[in-house]
Structure 1
Amino acid sequence: MTIPSAGRPPLISEDDRDTAVRRLQEAYGEGHISHEELETRLHQVLTATTHSEFASALHSLPEEDAGTTSTIAAAGGRIKRRGAWRVPRTLKVVSAFGKVRLDLSRAVFEHPAADIELQLGTGKAAITVPRDAVVDVEGLHTGWKDLLYKPRQPSRPGGPTIRITGAMGFGRLKIRHARR
């Protein structure tokens, strides 16, 4: 998420560029564009300074599979997911300030692994994972406060693997395993 500055157009974020590069590589791998077109579009994505230049590199590409990547974003307030909800392969959670609460204890995992990318400014976040989940937090960077997480051995094999990556500014993230 880019936050526009007064009088200047919004910048293209590194996440946007990374996503665009991945989409171009997938389109090439699936035969939608040629090798030469891939090189031209990659150069365009990596050197674009305006959103129109950036968007033109992605025109005519097939749409991303909505079932594999999802984004939840809020500038402030609360982000909350609980109950029996479907967890996509990649979930991006973006919040400038506010509270984030993800309860995955009764969620439906359609993939054996789920990547949760956090981009949080201030505020606190809490994630409840299934009892038998394996949690990887190596890719998470915290700025102000440390992560509160006590790993546990899965009680039975076959639980989902949850990789939590991204960055947190001034908030604290608490991860706990569900009791049931």
Structure 2
Amino acid sequence: MTAQPPEHSPRPAEPGPLRASDDEREAAVERLRDAAAEGRIDFGELDARLERALTARTRGELAAVTADLPAPRAEAGGPPLVLKGGMTGASRGPGRWEVPGHVIAHGGVGGVALDFSRAECHHAEVVVEAYGETSGVTIVIPDGWTADTTGMDPGTGGLRDETTPARLPRTPLIRLTGSGGIGGVLIRHPNRRERRKLDANPA
């Protein structure tokens, strides 16, 4: 009896290039705009690269658009700043403080106030995870800074975004994530009283 040749199982298909997500395309667009604001690329090249970034289908195509640009400082790592409202509340600012690339705020029972009005920020983008929990989180950012709240779950307490979309050159983007919980999350620019205090003491 003639031996039959062994059957060969079909080779699994090799995985294709990974597809880029909308968030990854948006992050690339922010890097390109920051690079133009810093003078690394001119505005004619910016338009061409923005078109490539917005139409990129894979991560490889997207990476090629920013391959010759420095990584955002927010990606440099380092421990996050963690604020816990606990029973008595917690705050950072409005005095001088250095902003890390990642901030986590838990409202707890006492609430959290996060004020960037006089903060020193060297990041193109800062991720703020805000969890309103019982008493909420309030975030104040200077005029000219902008916020992306599309990654935020409003929860039952809701999300109030009272910021304006006009971003000044060389200012950071606050990328807000987390959940409103019961107390909710508010992000805004300084109010009239806070502006008077800032104007009276500009240092």
Q: Within 5 Å, which residues of 2 pair with 1:1-180? A: 67-82=78-93, 83-154=95-166, 156-178=168-190
Structure 2: tracts of 5 or more residues without a match? 1-75, 199-203
Q: Aligned equivalents of 2:180 and 2:158: distance in 1?
A: 10
Q: Percent identity?
A: 29
| CA displacement, residues 54-111 of structure 1 (integer Å, 9 cap, x when unaligned) | xxxxxxxxxxx88452222243221111111111101111233222111101111121
Structure showing the higher strand proportion among its residues: 1
Structure 2 CA distance for partners of 1:110 and 1:157, relative to 1, 3 Å = closer
The amino acid of 1:76's aligned partner reads: M
Structure 1: tracts of 5 or more residues without a match? 1-64
Runs of 4+ in 1 over 6 A off after TM superposition: none
Question: Do the aligned residues in 1 keep the contact of 2:159 with 2:180 (CA within 8 Å)?
Answer: no
Q: Aligned equivalents of 2:133 and 2:91: distance in 1?
A: 16
Structure 2 CA distance for partners of 1:155 and 1:110, relative to 1, 3 Å = closer
Question: Do the aligned residues in 2 keep the contact of 1:134 with 1:162 (CA within 8 Å)?
Answer: yes
Please provide the CA RMSD for this pair. Answer: 2.2
Structure number with bigger Rg: 2
The amino acid of 2:88's aligned partner reads: G
SS of residue paired to 1:137: strand
